[in-house]
């Protein structure tokens, strides 16, 4: 089992918490959304992956 975790902002915990990545699209580019689950409160959120660099996106 390869579990992936990232520290992301949780609006329910009001802090950065450890999030388990529960869904990664097949084409795992940074523009695709991933689903994270907060390991503290268990809420699921959709977020874009981190961009490698700052670029102008709409």
Residue 51 burial (10 A CB sphere; 0-12, 13-18, 19+) = exposed
Residue 18 vs 49, nearer CB to Zn ion: 18
Q: Is 38 in the site for Zn ion (CB under 5 A)?
A: yes
Report yes or no: 14 and 41 within 8 Å, Cβ to Cβ: no
Q: Is 41 in the site for Zn ion (CB under 5 A)?
A: yes
Q: Which of 12, 25, 30, 51 binds Zn ion (CB under 5 A)?
A: 12
Binding site for Zn ion (CB under 5 A): 10, 12-13, 38, 40-41
């Amino acid at each position: 089992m390869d579990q992936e975790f990232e520290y992301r902002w949780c609006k329910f915990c009001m802090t950065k918490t450890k999030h388990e990545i529960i869904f990664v699209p097949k084409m795992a580019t940074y523009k695709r959304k991933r689903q994270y689950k907060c390991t503290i409160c268990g809420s699921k959120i959709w977020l874009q992956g981190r961009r490698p660099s700052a670029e102008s996106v709409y």
